[in-house]
Structures are given as structure tokens and as C-alpha cells.
Amino acid sequence: MLDASLRAVALATTGFMPVDEGDALYTAAMLAGAACPGLPMVEIGSYCGRSTVWFGAAARACNSVLHAVDHHVGSEENQPGWEWHDASLVDPSTGHINTLPHFEQTMQAAGLTQSVLAVVGNSPEIAASWKEPIAMCFIDGGHGREVARNDYLSWTPHIALGGILAIHDVFTDPALGGQAPFEEIYLPAVASGKFVDVSATGSLRVLKRV
Ligand code: SAH
Ligand code: MG
């Protein structure tokens, strides 16, 4: 479990990770670290670092490192006029969203700067030049269909046997949320025969690479 002081940092951080799902993410990362000792972990979509506190703390506990991938300019749904826009994240000097300073502040407050490496850029491009197998990939990036499909296609081949794929915002019922993480990531992962269900907590699905 995440210790109390880190939990307080996570709860004070802007973002979209509910507590029970953060705890499930932590548990999944501990599993991945035990199954694939020494391999790094990857988060797609860190925003202000809320989920990253749980995930980074687990990576550290496993003597692993977490690469936190985000271009930090926000997803489509974070832009002005969209449902998930937060005007306080706009950099007044550019007029655009920039979550990187908030992310860095969160990692500093959590004392995780040695274990979490910010990788600032476009997810599929970073995946394309990625070389080493990973113990776990947590996908919580853009929720457009093409973005979700690209994250699935570009990152899942890097997950080592026995490793973990975690997916956020998986809704089987369209009334509860967008379908892209479910239809473009979860379903193809299961259909590939390479991933089996481990757990489901809220909208967080955890699968194992077999
Ligand atoms: N995990 C976060 C929420 C992530 S929100 C939390 O716990 O609060 C989704 C994030 O994905 C945004 O910060 C956005 O900038 C990032 N993102 C969306 N598309 C991306 C892409 N193609 N490459 C890199 N990051 C992307
Ligand atoms: Mg999410």
C-alpha cells in the first residue's frame, strides 16, 4: 500500500485517478515488478502526476524506474471548450495548457524524482524508438479512437512475458464513458490471446502478458 504521506500528495494533486483505482494500480505494479525484476515501467498520460505517485512509489519499491510519458499539452478533451478543460493549467505566456511544471512539482513533493523520469513527447513516437522490454505499461493517454489505438499498437509489444498492461477509463457501457479505451485497447488486447484479465477496479483494467 502507498504510505500515508505519499497518499496525501496524490490526493492533493489535480487529476483523474480515484483512490481505489490508484491503490489497484499500485498493486498491479508490485505484481509486475515481482514478475519482471529489473525491467522498467511506463505510464502513458501523467498529466499533473496524480496516478504517477502511486505508480512511481510502487516502481521504487520494486527497485525499478518509471518512465512517465506525456507531451504535457493536454488531450483533446482537456482543450478550451471541452468537458475536461482546467483553465488553471494554461500557461499565460503561451495561452496553451502546460502540465509539466505541475507534474514536476508533484514528483518533488512526493520525493520521487529519482524513480520517475519525465519523458516529454508524443507517445507513439517515443514507443517507436523504445528498445528494452518493460515490466508494465499503464495506458491513460488521449481517449480519441486513433490515439488509443496507436497507444495499444505501439506500446503493448514492449511488455515482457509475465508483465502487466493496465488500462484506465475502460467503460463497457457507453452511458458511463467513451468507448475508445475499451474497444481500441482492452478488447484487442484480449482478442490477441497475449493478455488475460487479472483484475478490474472501477474503470481500471489490469491484464497480464502471457
Ligand atoms: N494519469 C493522469 C491523467 C492523464 S490525462 C491522472 O492520474 O490524473 C491524459 C494525459 O495524456 C494528458 O496529460 C495528455 O497530455 C496526455 N496525452 C494525450 N495524448 C498524448 C500523446 N499522443 N502523447 C503523449 N501524451 C498524451
Ligand atoms: Mg484516466
205 lines ligand 1 (CB under 6 A): no
Positive or negative: CA dihedral 91, 78, 101, 120: negative
150 lines ligand 1 (CB under 6 A): no
Task: Identify whether 143 is a catalytic site residue.
Answer: yes
Residue pLDDT, tens place only, 24-61: 999 999 999 999 999 999 999 999 999 999 999 999 99
Q: Which ligand is nearest to the CA of 124?
A: 1
- pLDDT (tens, 9 = 90+) of the chain, 210 residues, equals 899 999 999 999 999 999 999 999 999 999 999 999 999 999 999 999 999 999 999 999 999 999 999 999 999 989 998 988 999 999 999 999 999 999 999 999 999 999 999 999 999 999 999 999 999 999 999 999 999 999 999 999 999 999 999 999 999 999 999 999 999 999 999 999 999 999 999 999 999 999
Cα→Cα distances 207→35, 41, 59, 204, 210, Å: 13, 15, 17, 10, 9
Give the domain ranges of the chain: 4-209
Burial environment of residue 92 by CB neighbours within 10 A (0 to 12, 13 to 18, 19 or more): exposed
At residue 72's C-alpha, the angle toward residues 67 and 76, to 5°, is 120
Q: Which CATH architecture has domain 4-209?
A: 3-Layer(aba) Sandwich (3.40)
Burial environment of residue 112 by CB neighbours within 10 A (0 to 12, 13 to 18, 19 or more): buried
Catalytic residue (choose from 72, 143, 158, 168): 143
50 lines ligand 1 (CB under 6 A): yes
